[in-house]
Chain A
Amino acid sequence: MNILIAILVLGLIAALFGALLGYASIRFHVEGDPIVEQLDALLPQTQCGQCGYPGCKPYAEAVANGEAINKCAPGGEDTIKKIADLLGVDVQPIDENHEADDSSQSNRPKVAFIIEEDCIGCTKCIQACPVDAILGAAKQMHTILIDECTGCDLCVAPCPVDCIEMRPTPETIQNWQWDLNKIAVKQID
């Protein structure tokens, strides 16, 4: 008899919790995969496609599904570290194939620049730009909206006359970084 009561009570409790969990899963249902959003927020949003995916969001989705975390060249080590933190995996060195080109001395961010006298107005770069940062029309000279350019490089290859080059952004008072080595420590006695 006791055993029956025990089974009954336990069964009731199980049913209760089951119902509770079932209700909660409907009531607090999360649309989409939040990890993708978090990953996407960590990526630099250059939309450059250097990872092999058409944009940052698709790469974020791929990483969430087990893709290697070291393919984001514009993000570099920092981004890899952050993604590793988020996913709880080991930090990997940046993939050789996806390493950013460090040959230039300047570490300032680059933006595309159209040598306007060479531009033939073919609109190929406009189609390549992932963020619509190139202005122009067919057979009209094109130009780059510097403030919108992410420096993704994607417009350089399609140009049939090689009139696009990547130039470092000018250093101004607004974006100047204090360099400790430049400043003599001033201390009065």
Chain B
Amino acid sequence: MESIIERIKQGKFWHFHGGIHPPQQKAITAENPIKQLSLPKQLILPLQQHIGRQGDLLVVVGDKVLKGQALTQSSNPMAVPVHAPTSGTISAIKKSVIAHPSGLSELCLFIDVDGEDTWRKREICQDFTKLSQQQIINKIADAGIAGMGGAGFPTHIKVNTKPNINFLIINAAECEPYITADDLLMCEQSTAIVDGIKILDQILTPAFILIGIEDNKPRAIKALQQATKHIEKIKVCVLPTKYPTGGEKQLIKILTGKEINSGTLPVSSGIVVQNVATCFAISDAVINDIPLIRRVVTLTGRALSKPQNVWALLGTPVSYLLEQTGFTNEISEKKSIAGSPQPSPPVIMGGPLMGFSILNEQVPVVKTSNCILAPSKAEMPSAFDNNSNEVDCIRCGQCSDVCPSQLLPQELQWSAKAKDHQQLNQLNLFDCIDCGACAYVCPSQIPLVQYYRIAKAEIRQQQQLDIKAEKAKARFEARKFRLGQEKIAREEKHKKAAAARKATMNEKSADGGTASSAVAAALARVKAKKAAQKIKNSNEPLASSNEVTDEKSQVKAAIARAKAKRLAKEKGTESPVANNKEQTKTPAVTNNKTQSNVVDDKKARIAAAVAKAKAKKASEKQSPVVENNVSSEQEQVTASENTTTEAKDKKARIAAAVAKAKAKLKVMDKAQQAPTTNNEKST
């Protein structure tokens, strides 16, 4: 640590591996001051302008917004808000092409500028040293500041770290050709930048603050040295010009000699790196309460007649900026021809090495856009030529000589072409910083870095798919398990239901008297009746004495009925209708009537009445029994009965009464739909 500081004080620095020295091309814009542009008519603000997540909208179409008003908010720490860069009306919220190499559309806010540029209420902070750490971090978060160097990592997360920060490194290297935005910002706003650095110093309390700046910016170096000369802690480190000095890990290596482990953040080594433009934005936000609504953009390239750095409001369409700087291209008219997805003169957002062609000039400036490059054909012929001039790799090894991450670009290229993701991971593809140095030096003009970008995207995609497959598998297994459980539960239920059914059946038949047991009861009755008849046939008195009283009466009733029938038959001449009825219907029916309730009540009643009448007559007449027109079945039944009943008319009468009563009972039974009486009789 001490030795590092000693070495830095002596102006000795380390080196990173590789690197290239492309033509600077910075002189095109470095001499002109930053120009204030008039307000454009419309601003297009993508909701997401940085790594992380987009916030939730706070405005709707038609809302009047003031300059600096927050338009989104989010409780997610990885989201930073977007602010209105000027006053106006929200005219639309819809998908629009954004600054991304894909040329895809994302949700954007369209603001119709009213031209008045009215500020919201601002609270200007006179003395930021009185603010607490958390207050400053909140202000940075509310101002929507995201790293302005490249990736756009939310700044409030980067600075909200635990203590033990050894080095705060301010990245002022600006190593990519053409770009002079930070250079001019340092020249013109060095005091504000130093204020921003002081604010960061207050939050992070680092042991030492290093400003890394390349030696191709003499004016900026002078301005910074002037602004920091009374501050012991800050050291302006003038570094030799080499691309990519401005890479985070490369800058750390040059200044401190430390290497950041693959896959870890510099914070873990006690180092925080902030871009110089971010420092300016922080001072603006904390001191002047100006959220991040503007930035310096370098408009450069030989296709512009007035290349210049400008203060561009976020959301300004690139076409407006190009108009302002005199975008004169001999083929610019061609772009109006419909059907061409890419405008003929290429416009590159970002630098020539790490930037990307924009497919639509309506693309707005966002928090990370530092340069718009419109090259002429002579300047960058390859940008005009969509056909790749790629030839086979000759294994010269120049790419690995220049790789700042000490990877093996040539090996990576082959694996990327073969889509061998495992091998790519082994070759540490994800340590590649996309600097493009390998593609720059390649004599075969292989667009190496594009292959890596594709491979990285594919691997990320594959990882997502793997996660999704894993999830699908888990859900499938869970579903299978659930269905299995349900099936078991169902079977269990069925079993239980069956058992319950059985139980209730047994229970009810024990009670005697439900429909389910009727059949069994009927069978029992039939058996009982047969037994009774048998006994009666052999010796009646014994049987009657042995039988239960119920059964006795039953038997008696049957006998009475049979007798009555016979008498009725005798009296055939007196009541032929009744007789006929009896003869045709009763043989089986009357016997069964009392026991198995098959016959309807009407019949039973008639039969009883007839029986009664007959019994009366019989007793009066005392006539002998003559068997006439009797069926064989009836004969069997009645034959045995003759002995007991014929002589005693009294008995017969009683029996008839009983029969009648029984018939009545039957009627009642029928009405109640309850065969209980029968059951009782049988048992």
Contacts and interface: CB of A to CB of B under 8 A. Distances in A.
A45 B479 CA distance: 14
Interface string B427-450: 000000000000110000101001
A47 to B, nearest CB: 5
A184 B357 contact: yes
Which of A55, A130, A178 is packed against the most chain B CB atoms within 10 Å? A178
B338 to A, nearest CB: 19
Interface in A147-182: 147-148, 150, 171-173, 175-180, 182
> Interface size bucket, B side?
35 or more
Given A180-B447, A187-B382, A187-B439, A131 B475 contact: yes
Interface string B370-386: 00000100011111111
B106 interface: yes
A186 interface: yes
Nearest to A171: B104
Interface in B351-376: 352-353, 355-357, 375
Given A45-B470, A183-B356, A183-B357, A173 B104 contact: yes
A175 B104 CA distance: 11
B390 to A, nearest CB: 8
Contacts of A112: none
B454 interface: yes
A131 B375 CA distance: 53
A183 B476 contact: no
Contacts of A187: 380, 382, 439-440, 445
Contact of A185 (B25, B447, B471): B447
B472 A176 contact: no
A177 B472 CA distance: 23
A130 B479 contact: yes
Nearest to B378: A189
Nearest to A178: B454
A176 B464 CA distance: 12
A135 to B, nearest CB: 13
A3 interface: no
Nearest to A172: B104
Nearest to B455: A178
Contacts of A118: none
Interface string B556-570: 000000000000000
Contact of B382 (A46, A55, A56, A185): A185
Contact of B102 (A55, A132, A173, A188): A173
Contacts of B386: 184
A141 interface: no
Interface string A126-145: 00001111000000000000
A176 B102 contact: yes
Nearest to B442: A187
B400 to A, nearest CB: 19
B587 interface: no
A175 B464 CA distance: 9
B388 interface: yes
A183 to B, nearest CB: 6
Interface of A: 40, 44-47, 55-57, 130-133, 147-148, 150, 171-173, 175-180, 182-189
19 contacts: A44-B465, A44-B469, A45-B469, A47-B476, A55-B476, A131-B479, A150-B472, A172-B106, A173-B104, A178-B450, A178-B454, A179-B454, A180-B451, A183-B356, A184-B346, A184-B385, A185-B389, A185-B450, A187-B382
